Homo-oligomer: A and B are copies of this chain.
Amino acid sequence: MDYKTSDVPHMRLACKDVPLPKNMLEVGAFTETMAHLASAVCVASASEGEARHGRTITTAISLSTQPPSLLISITKETELARMVLKTRGFSLAFLAEDQQPVSDAFAGKSRLADRFLAGTWTQWPSGRPKLEGAATSLDCSLAGVIEMDTHYLFAGIPVASQITERKPLVWHRRGYHGLD
């Protein structure tokens, strides 16, 4: 793969340019509402040579089957976002229900340098990080970037995946859950 920077469409969805509704939800009510949703727990990661970065996210959705693609949301001012943009790719590990310690580590309980000590990490053929024992894993080439004020939306095209029989870990009301 030899993407040039100019090959990646890079856009801005300028919510702030839209007149905000006067009855917009307060931030506290919004975060409380979103905490009531159920979301798969996922570690998004990237690598460049020996350097690796990762972050626990609950914001990954299928995007299209033409081409097969998915979308993740990552906070902009992070080493992970910079590495995804620089290396034009990311990998995703949707955690199994026994991988709460991995989620905690990558959600910030471990320092950046120590996060990959949680769980057993190998590599995809691309070199990007691969978490052993995840419920579902994907390795993605970066296909597009949408720039928000605080987040990047990264569109990825999977180049490799692994599915297992493991049950997924779910985040709901600020706690971990498994499926019945």
**Interface, chain A (partner B; CB < 8 A):** 1, 3, 7-9, 11-21, 23-27, 29-34, 36-40, 58-71, 73, 94, 135-136, 138, 141, 143-144, 146, 148-151, 153, 155, 157-161, 163-164, 168, 170, 172, 177-180
Chain B residues positioned under 8 Å from A160 (CB to CB): 23, 25
Chain B residues positioned under 8 Å from A61 (CB to CB): 39, 58-61, 71, 73
Chain B residues positioned under 8 Å from A143 (CB to CB): 15, 18, 20
Q: Whole-angstrom distance from the CB of A123 to the nearest CB of chain B?
A: 15
Determine if B13 and A9 form an interchain contact, defined as CB atoms under 8 angstroms apart.
yes
Interface centre among A15, A144, A148 (most CB of B within 10 A): A15
Determine if A36 and B155 form an interchain contact, defined as CB atoms under 8 angstroms apart.
no
Determine if A161 and B33 form an interchain contact, defined as CB atoms under 8 angstroms apart.
yes
Chain B residues positioned under 8 Å from A153 (CB to CB): 71
